[in-house]
Chain A
């Protein structure tokens, strides 16, 4: 149990919860705006396991709680309007860090490797955010 409430009885108003010290979700304090202009930060809204909490300080990145329940779906990153600027990243879970091999050189790589090759800057077909156009 991560949460503690003062009396623990029904109707209790104040609950305290342990901040996760480590998580595969990382915020960049410079480019994350905390979605200060929105009712709820987009990443918080999108989180499928509700493990991101809005920061009580407006304009600051959300706080991660219950980090061990993250299902690594990346919906929080997808939802962030500044994801491509690096405001939020999902570090690939180590146990899922797939490997690949360059066909002509035979070199081996993996996600999260030290000294990684340069990024591939090609976006998906129709871009990272294909337009939603109402007909």
Chain B
């Protein structure tokens, strides 16, 4: 079939170099980036955001629940009680304690600031009046735990538009459709002060040099394309290539948890269905194909007998539910889960106790719960507005219809209960990011980071509060520092690099390279790892870097940006492999299973592994878990928070 050709509608100029001067440069205009910019500009400095998409839809389009807003007026538990109650166990040890603690202290405060910008965080129209999960005085709505009320149900589809409008109102300078490609450093040297970044416009191909006194990296994490890209369509969102982390690596920054990954495919939303009873659907009743109820179970595996028990920890003798149990079956469950998300379910199905497939029994839910799950949460989740619309248009009616579940019992997305499609579909790198201090300053002078660019951050609220804090700190730093002196040679070298795919007439396209990386990673970095296999992965990746990456071709600015992304995926794969080789142990939380080192998280490896680029090698290091509450910091969360917080009394 002949293809009709049309003219590229944007004026192309690969020779043009735009120079932009700013005080604070924010890279990535998603959730963390938007907050960083707003916090910085309030301090009277000049702020510039660079976003590869358009700020209009940067980051996820929505959010349906905000976790850990412990400072909300209805929450009955303090941050200290929460931390103490969660206790030290695996999942919590590897999280980002700094962001989490600030979230406990300022999550609701952040939401109130957002509300002033026009977002909807409470049921102002009294649509859920009298519902058990609503506080009729504040009109706040809660999820999961109706006793302690630490998690809020929100109208998250209003968040992005409110932030965008505020950025314009505050006159933040915004560069849309510009992909940042590298950091500029003092003297062009790795490990020295960050002085800004370079970028290309993905429509016009023009080059950008951003000079900044302080820079905040908020490009998110990426990693969907390391294992799972097969040359097909999806997973090409800017954030999916992990470019920001690669830039930081190339500049010599220290990264932690890079070996951390999560099982699961690279499908972006909308995935099959609309969620699952672990989050969006919680506490929806699940039933099997014959209509038999699949019960919820508590942390000890006891079957719950009433709906009330799913939402009232007090009925189970618990003080509070943790927002989410991390992989039931591997770790102690701290909140009820549907049996369909436990390893026992597979067994029960094999014994004939349940019949596949399974369904969410929305019609069987109390009316206000059903409306909260489908009418509010689905319509406001990350990218699921379209889902509500398309389901409704196709005739799906939550009052009458059972929604088939595609995870849990019948899929491989969650460990422990694979029945159909037993092989894990792949992995996504999930937990790696920049090491930082209580100011969200990274190991490089002049570089701050927030959101998913940090190690172990993966919630909307954490992105917002870390962005807000990092932006304020970066502004303070910018006020106090010298003008950046750009090293021209570094700019020229980067221009050579980024435009190279345009100069070739023969070669391979970006999909071929990305699929090649994924193929290598599935082969040598799969379910069970050995040192030999990981070393082979490095050999493969090096070959790809030296040969195929040098053969990439692009015919438009957009294809050029995709080529650069594929090179980022290649580097991200290499970073993962180095970190995975360094950890000579298995670790379930990090989803690392090693043949030679089968012990799960032995004490000597119960620590963060850090990596950074050395001269010709990789410098590996480590940090104790909870390093943020050890020397040189104060010894408690509270004290560190008070000492470092960038604003007056909160």
Residue numbers of A with Cβ under 8 A of B are 1-5, 8-19, 21, 45-50, 53-54, 56, 63, 65-66, 68-75, 77-79, 83, 90, 92, 96, 98-104, 109-113, 116-126, 128, 130-135
Contact = CB atoms under 8 A, between A and B. Distances in A.
B391 A16 contact: no
Interface stretch (B392-400, B418-426, B524-532): B392-400
Contacts of B388: 124
Contacts of A11: 13-15
Given A15-B556, A53-B6, A111-B390, 14 more contacts: A15-B555, A47-B53, A56-B9, A66-B558, A68-B233, A78-B61, A101-B402, A101-B404, A119-B392, A119-B393, A125-B375, A126-B376, A134-B117, A134-B118
A122 B57 contact: no
B120 A17 contact: no
A109 B4 contact: no
Interface string B227-270: 00000111111100000000000000000000000000000111
A135 B272 CA distance: 38
Given A71-B235, A98-B406, A46 B54 contact: yes
B6 A98 contact: no
B360 to A, nearest CB: 9
A8 B403 CA distance: 51
A19 B379 CA distance: 32
Interface in B2-26: 3-9, 11-15
B371 A125 contact: yes
Contacts of B165: 132, 134
5 contacts: A3-B558, A12-B14, A14-B12, A45-B56, A120-B391
Name the residue in B61, B155, B157, B389 with the highest tally of chain A Cβ atoms < 10 Å from its Cβ. B389
Nearest to A96: B272
A1 B404 contact: no
Contact of B386 (A5, A13, A77, A110): A77
Name the residue in B9, B237, B238, B402 with the highest tally of chain A Cβ atoms < 10 Å from its Cβ. B9
B386 A90 contact: yes
B556 A3 contact: yes
A125 B53 CA distance: 29
A100 B4 contact: no
B385 A78 contact: yes
Given A71-B236, A101-B404, A45 B558 contact: no
Contacts of B615: none
Interface of B: 1, 3-9, 11-15, 53-54, 56-57, 61, 115-120, 125, 127, 155, 157-158, 161-162, 165, 177, 202-203, 232-238, 268-274, 359, 361, 363-364, 371-372, 375-376, 378-380, 383, 385-397, 400-404, 406, 499, 502-503, 505, 509, 553-556, 558-559
Contacts of B233: 68-71
Contact of B403 (A18, A74, A100, A128): A100
B271 A16 contact: no
A130 to B, nearest CB: 5
Contact of B555 (A8, A10, A48, A131): A8
Given A74-B385, A90-B386, A103-B361, A19 B236 contact: no
Contacts of A122: 375, 392, 397
A21 B3 contact: yes
A103 B401 contact: yes
A62 B591 CA distance: 44
Contacts of B61: 73, 75, 78
Nearest to A16: B5
Contacts of A132: 118-120, 158, 161-162, 165
A71 B165 CA distance: 25
A75 B57 contact: yes
A126 B125 CA distance: 8
A79 B559 contact: no
A4 B12 CA distance: 13
Nearest to B11: A13
A130 B120 contact: yes
Contact of B53 (A48, A66, A109, A133): A48
A61 B397 CA distance: 32
B386 A78 contact: yes
A102 B157 contact: no
